[in-house]
Amino acid sequence: MERTLFIIKPDAVQRGLIGEIITRLERRGLRLVAMKMIRMSEELARRHYAIHEGKPFFEPLVAYITSAPVVVMVWEGPKAIEIVRRTMGATNPAEAAPGTIRADYALEIGRNLVHGSDGPQTAVTEINLFFTPEEILSWERDTDRWILE
């Protein structure tokens, strides 16, 4: 089992796409184990995107992610990190595969609706940045035997 951090970014919240986006991951079969709505502080945004510090798009990225509330989640499942990334589509919506969230609802890289951890190490770091261990629930889902072999 893997866990991944997922964020519904300000543009998706403003556009009323929270339910639509959660539905895609829920229907896929992934299990939601933590969720909250927050307004990211500038400090948190800079830490979350620290790897991009110094790049030309860094300051606009921090301004965008702090500009309105976001919904932060932890999703769990086998290969959850890769599966969530594939469900999101490529970073640039113009290059995202049809049927992905970014291809279906977005046009530009700076308004690409969602964030998902890109690897096992970043997933752990990002989950710890947004959630305490008590906020992450281990729970039995009755449908799991119909989703997982």
Write out the E strands in the chain: 2-8, 31-38, 70-77, 114-116
The yes-or-no answer on residue 48 being catalytic is no
Residue 118 binds ligand DAT (CB under 6 A): yes
Nearest approach, Cβ of residue 66 and Mg ion (Å)? 17
Nearest approach, Cβ of residue 71 and ligand DAT (Å)? 16
Q: Which of 87, 96, 115, 117 is catalytic?
A: 115
Nearest approach, Cβ of residue 29 and Mg ion (Å)? 23
Q: Where does this chain touch Mg ion (CB under 5 A) — which range of 2-10, 80-88, 111-119, 130-138?
A: 111-119
Query: For the chain, what is the total number of helices (H) and then of strands (E)?
Result: 8, 4
Residue 125 binds ligand DAT (CB under 6 A): no
Angle, alpha carbons 65-109-94 (nearest 5°):
150
User: Residue 132: what are its φ and ψ, rounded to 5°?
Assistant: -85, 160
Q: From CA 44, how far away is CA 131, in angstroms rounded?
A: 12
Question: Where along the sequence are the contacts to ligand DAT (CB under 6 A)?
Answer: 52, 57, 61, 91, 109-110, 112, 115, 118
Question: Where along the sequence are the contacts to Mg ion (CB under 5 A)?
Answer: 118
